[in-house]
Amino acid sequence: MKPNFKSLKEKKSTKELLNFSIINLDKPSGPTSFDVSHFVKKLTGVSKTSHLGTLDPQVSGVLPITLGRACRLADYFMHHDKEYIGIMRIHEKVSEKKLKEEMKKFLGKISQLPPLRSRVKRAFREREIKLFEIIEIDGKDVLFKADVEAGTYIRKLISDLGEKIGGAHMLELRRTRASVFQEENSINLYELEKVFKEYKEGNDKELRKVLIPAEQALSEVIPTIQVKELSIKQLLTGKPLMKTDLISPLPRAEKIALFFKDRLIEVAKKVEEKDIIARPEFVYN
């Protein structure tokens, strides 16, 4: 049973929302992800912001920004699939049939070596390509769509494809989905500045629409479970979770979000320690 997040949002003040929410931002090409996160921090006045999954400066699209204490939840969103739409330029003339055949060979588990300019250790790592298809072809420019495991380098994917077809490089790239955050529900920097201007002038209606309660977003990536009211006080001090604390059945997932009605208590990781069934990783006290 999922909590009533509409009710939760209505009960919270705008200030409370700002300190524990996520903004689904549409990043423009040009600034770094850090620059955008810092801009949002200055605009909102919150103590801390962080972005969920780095986008290269020249790449645009979905870049969720966590606000305040929601930054501590970032890791729960980072390791989910991403979706992209981009344009690649092929260097030699290749039939559509041949191109489709070669792209199909990249589906499933592949091994990738991060680019020289990346900040991660340069070692081969396995990533899964779930979708890699052509949308449209215009001469040597190919509009494509890719649905991939987090941590996949799309530019490298195109470069590796190019080795099979006489060369290819990426011209443009846009992220259309990151974890549960979709392009159609995102807001650009201009629109965000506008709603904050209205907020500072006393009208918070549009800003409240933009702020996604962190509890709500969390429930989309981690199973939720209800706990007894009598257990709340001890759980908020870090007490391990026992079966006797639960109202609803324990899900099979490794991580669980504990709620009492619409109130987030903690995120816990399951363990097998006699009567202890989970230990807290994040406590919302």
Strand locations in 69-167 (E): 82-90, 108-112, 125-138, 141-148
Indicate the burial class of 191 (C-beta count within 10 angstroms; 0-12, 13-18, 19 or more).
middle
Q: Which amino acid is at 71?
A: C
Reported as half-sphere exposure (CB side, CA atoms, 13 A), residue 36 has a value of 32
Name all domains of the chain by residue range, CATH numbers in brackets.
5-78+181-214 (3.30.2350.10), 82-178 (3.30.70.3190), 222-283 (2.30.130.10)
pTM over 0.85: yes
Q: Which amino acid is at 84?
A: Y
**Sign of the Cα pseudo-torsion (11, 16, 22, 23, in order):** positive
Distance of CA 42 to the CA centre of its chain: 22
Catalytic residue among 35, 56, 81, 245: 56
Q: What is the pLDDT along the chain (285 residues), one digit of tens a residue?
A: 678 888 889 999 999 999 999 999 999 999 999 999 999 999 999 999 999 989 999 999 999 999 999 999 999 999 899 999 999 999 999 999 999 999 999 999 999 987 766 666 778 889 999 999 999 999 999 999 999 999 999 999 999 999 999 999 999 999 999 999 999 999 999 999 999 999 999 999 999 999 999 999 999 999 999 999 999 999 999 999 999 999 988 888 999 999 999 999 999 999 989 889 999 999 998
Known catalytic residue at 56: yes
227: DSSP letter: B
